[in-house]
Amino acid sequence: MREVTCPYCFHHCRIGEGMVGFCRARKNVAGENVCANYGRITGIAMDPIEKKPLARFYPGSYILSVGSYGCNLSCPFCQNWQISMADERTSGYESVTAEQLADYVMRTKDNLGIAFTYNEPLVSFELIIDVATIIKPAGYKVAVVSNGCVEQTVLEQVAPYIDAMNIDLKGDAAFYQELNGSYEQVKQTIAYMHDKCHVELTSLIIPGKNDREEWIRQEAQWIASLDASIPLHLTRYFPNWHYKIGATPHETVYRLQRVAEEYLDDVLVGNV
């Protein structure tokens, strides 16, 4: 049986015939790397744009949020683990075509466009491109909420179709090892996308993991080296999935906000 190597993120999974990669969304079908979760929708809702969070992109508007299953990280605190950690057997999806999804976007009243979110959207970048190709000529916007762990070859394909992106910057290199992620690849994604579309960043502040002033200072300095006007969201953590660590104290988030504001123009707090 022919094995394929997936080129789309740092894992570079070697996938056997009929099997899926680490993300559970890329599959080897007859020796071809296909998007197994294409059009398989596990969640859809109208959300305030600020919930993505995208605080500086058409504030006050609503956007149709859509997600599937699968993710190429395994964050033990994931709030959407029921779908991000699921696969085609456990997710409970409904299948739609790109044309059907685009039609729904355009028929939804008072809708800015579509936000691909809830799981990791870039593991199924083909759907983003196909939907965007239909709705963008009609004036609708495309947003992506991503962990940023993706190869530049994917970004080069999808960037022309994205209007706004929120990218997680979860912690330092050691923390990303716990998440089965790549700190360097996230930074590369941020650096590549920040002048391609509107970009905002999010750090979920977790006690004992990424709540050190030293880390926030380094993070803010690095972001400022790209563009000090990039909005940074510092979000309060609550226990979820495998993590039983207590919720982040309010004062911790505000204290780190003050540190980040030494370098960045726009530091927001969430869940406080």
- Cα(131)–Cα(134) distance, rounded to whole angstroms? 5
Question: Any residues with CB less than 8 A from the CB of 34 and at least 6 apart, and which?
Answer: 26, 27, 28
Q: Report whether pLDDT(158) > 80.
A: yes
Binned at pLDDT 50, 70 and 90, residue 235 comes out as very high
Q: Report whether pLDDT(27) > 80.
A: yes
Q: What is the identity of the amino acid at 95?
A: S
- Cα(52)–Cα(163) distance, rounded to whole angstroms? 14
Q: Which of 77, 81, 125 is nearest to 243 (CA)?
A: 77
Strands 232-236 vs 26-29: parallel, antiparallel or unpaired: unpaired
| Tokens 């979110």 sit on residue | 117
User: What interhelical angle do 213-227 and 183-193 show, nearest 10?
Assistant: 30
* Contact (CB, 8 A) for 158 and 127: no
| Tokens 């099997």 sit on residue | 19
Q: Give tens-digit pLDDT for 169-185.
A: 999 999 999 999 999 99
Q: Report whether pLDDT(270) > 70.
A: yes
SS3 state at 259: helix
- Cα(65)–Cα(259) distance, rounded to whole angstroms? 32
The CATH number linked to 215 is: 3.20.20.70
Q: Report whether pLDDT(141) > 80.
A: yes
Q: For 25-131, where are the E strands, in sequence order?
A: 26-29, 32-35, 40-41, 43-48, 62-67, 94-95, 113-116
Q: Give tens-digit pLDDT for 97-135.
A: 999 999 999 999 999 999 999 999 999 999 999 999 999
**CB neighbours of residue 240 within 10 Å:** 15
pLDDT at 1: 67
The total domain count for the chain is 1
State which residues form the domain around 165. Answer: 4-270
Per cent of the chain over pLDDT 90 is 99
Q: Which of 147, 158, 164 is nearest to 70 (CA)?
A: 147
Q: Give tens-digit pLDDT for 211-230.
A: 999 999 999 999 999 999 99
Q: Give tens-digit pLDDT for 49-101.
A: 999 999 999 999 999 999 999 999 999 999 999 999 999 999 999 999 999 99
Q: Which of the 8 DSSP states describes residue 9? A: S
Binned at pLDDT 50, 70 and 90, residue 253 comes out as very high
